[in-house]
Amino acid sequence: MRGDDMPAHWVGNGELSRGFRGLPCGYRDVAAVTFAIGGTQLQIMTRGARTQRDREEPLRNSEYAEADEAELTPDQAALLAEQAEAEVAEAESAAMAARTRALRLREQAAASRPAEAAEVDACKTASDGGASHADMVARQPNGRRLPRLGLARPRPSIVAAALALACTAVLVAATGYFVWHQQKVLREAHDRAEFTAAARQVVVTLMSIDFNNAQGDVQRIVDNSTGAFRDDFQHAAEDFIKVAKDAKVTTAATANAAAVESMTHDSAVVLVTASSTVTNAAGAKDAPRTWRLSVDLQREGDQIKMSKVEFVP
């Protein structure tokens, strides 16, 4: 509606009349508005109220909208443009807030992902040799940036398997040591028994001589000896036999006790206590005598022989 189409009683001031030129069409009811200008009240009639249909339905006809825009003054057009820009700015602000919230939620989800995903990220980061430092940091929900470690925390299943493997290895090692130690103890006990029995036997053989069978007794001594002792005794065997026959005596010995002083698997030094009784041709017996001997033994094949003997005071 233009100013020259308005009734006379609508026009009271040139500025006011120009202000009403941009009113949109579609008004059905008439309202009276009173203005106070310079102490004078001026009542003008306006088309102020819209029908219910005009208030509820938007403009559907583009030609009608263009007609309304054509009726706007430059000031009103500028005002509407500012309002539109304000609405656009508000929409952009809302979109920015939505994007910020979505980014924060995405970062929270990334921060709480499982350790497997972190391990995959670590492997991917290690494979990207030229990755920038920004790729090696993670942003927390509060906005801080912390360095992302290259090594991921081991999974509980891997830790449990490693512990089980370590415990198994310890048990196997302990069992092996126990078995080895037990076998060593048994072997040493067996060797000790062998050397003790051999020492008893060689002492009895060495100290038991019958002049009636001196040759055989001397040969048994040679057969149960080795090393330098065997060589020396073999050289003096004839003299020993002659003395036994001339004296016509018989010596019987008994090993009372024996103990290993030192031992390896193939040799040992054994202390032996023995007693001997001498009987002459007439049958007279001397009182028993007690002897202490240190006997060196050497293993030869499956037989243990005497390599040295000394009388201990």
- Asked whether residue 241 is assigned to any structural domain, the reply reads yes
**For the chain, how far is it from start to end, CA to CA, in angstroms?**
153
The answer, yes or no, to whether residue 43 has pLDDT greater than 50, is: no
Spell out a b/e string for 276-295, using b for 16 or more CB atoms within 10 Å of the CB, else e: bebeeeeeeeeeeeebebeb
User: Which band of pLDDT confidence, cut at 50, 70 and 90, is reported for residue 136?
Assistant: very low
User: Which band of pLDDT confidence, cut at 50, 70 and 90, is reported for residue 86?
Assistant: confident
Q: What per-residue confidence (pLDDT) applies to 248? A: 86
Judge whether 293 and 253 are in contact, CB under 8 Å.
no
Give the residue with greater pLDDT, 7 vs 287.
287
- Asked whether residue 91 is assigned to any structural domain, the reply reads no
Q: What per-residue confidence (pLDDT) applies to 66? A: 47
User: Which band of pLDDT confidence, cut at 50, 70 and 90, is reported for residue 133?
Assistant: very low
User: Which band of pLDDT confidence, cut at 50, 70 and 90, is reported for residue 145?
Assistant: low
The answer, yes or no, to whether residue 117 has pLDDT greater than 70, is: no
Q: What per-residue confidence (pLDDT) applies to 85? A: 87
d(CA 169, CA 175): 10
Q: What per-residue confidence (pLDDT) applies to 256? A: 94
Nearest to 42 by CA among 19, 75, 71: 19
Q: What per-residue confidence (pLDDT) applies to 150? A: 54
Judge whether 216 and 237 are in contact, CB under 8 Å.
no
Give the domain CATH number at 265.
3.10.450.230
Spell out a b/e string for 227-238, using b for 16 or more CB atoms within 10 Å of the CB, else e: eebbeebeeebe
Nearest to 73 by CA among 123, 4, 23, 129: 23
User: Which band of pLDDT confidence, cut at 50, 70 and 90, is reported for residue 169?
Assistant: very high
The answer, yes or no, to whether residue 46 has pLDDT greater than 80, is: no
Judge whether 290 and 273 are in contact, CB under 8 Å.
yes
- Asked whether residue 141 is assigned to any structural domain, the reply reads no
Kind of pairing between the strands at 137-139 and 145-147? antiparallel
Q: What per-residue confidence (pLDDT) applies to 31? A: 41
Q: What per-residue confidence (pLDDT) applies to 44? A: 42
Q: What per-residue confidence (pLDDT) applies to 281? A: 73
Residue type, 120: V
Tally of domains in the chain: 1
Q: What per-residue confidence (pLDDT) applies to 57? A: 46
The answer, yes or no, to whether residue 96 has pLDDT greater than 80, is: yes
The answer, yes or no, to whether residue 255 has pLDDT greater than 70, is: yes
81-90, 251-260, 279-288, 298-307 — which is least confidently predicted?
A: 279-288
- Asked whether residue 7 is assigned to any structural domain, the reply reads no
Q: Percent of the chain, pLDDT > 90?
A: 34
- Asked whether residue 228 is assigned to any structural domain, the reply reads yes
- Asked whether residue 198 is assigned to any structural domain, the reply reads yes
Region of 170 on the Ramachandran plot (φ > 0 left; ψ -120 to 50 alpha; else beta): alpha
- Asked whether residue 117 is assigned to any structural domain, the reply reads no
d(CA 233, CA 5): 163
Judge whether 151 and 225 are in contact, CB under 8 Å.
no
Q: What per-residue confidence (pLDDT) applies to 156? A: 80
Range list of H helices, 71-134: 74-111, 115-127
Burial of 199 (0-12, 13-18, 19+ CB in 10 A): buried
Region of 280 on the Ramachandran plot (φ > 0 left; ψ -120 to 50 alpha; else beta): beta
Range of the domain at 277: 187-311
**Average of per-residue pLDDT across 34-56:** 43
**Residues 162, 166, 171, 172, CA torsion sign:** positive
Region of 179 on the Ramachandran plot (φ > 0 left; ψ -120 to 50 alpha; else beta): alpha
The answer, yes or no, to whether residue 155 has pLDDT greater than 90, is: no
Nearest to 109 by CA among 89, 139, 134: 139
- Asked whether residue 197 is assigned to any structural domain, the reply reads yes
Q: Percent of the chain, pLDDT > 70?
A: 63
Under DSSP, the state recorded for 8 is G
d(CA 308, CA 271): 12
Write out the two tokens for 49.
């109220």
User: Which band of pLDDT confidence, cut at 50, 70 and 90, is reported for residue 35?
Assistant: very low
**Average of per-residue pLDDT across 46-73:** 49
Judge whether 260 and 192 are in contact, CB under 8 Å.
yes
Q: What per-residue confidence (pLDDT) applies to 152? A: 61
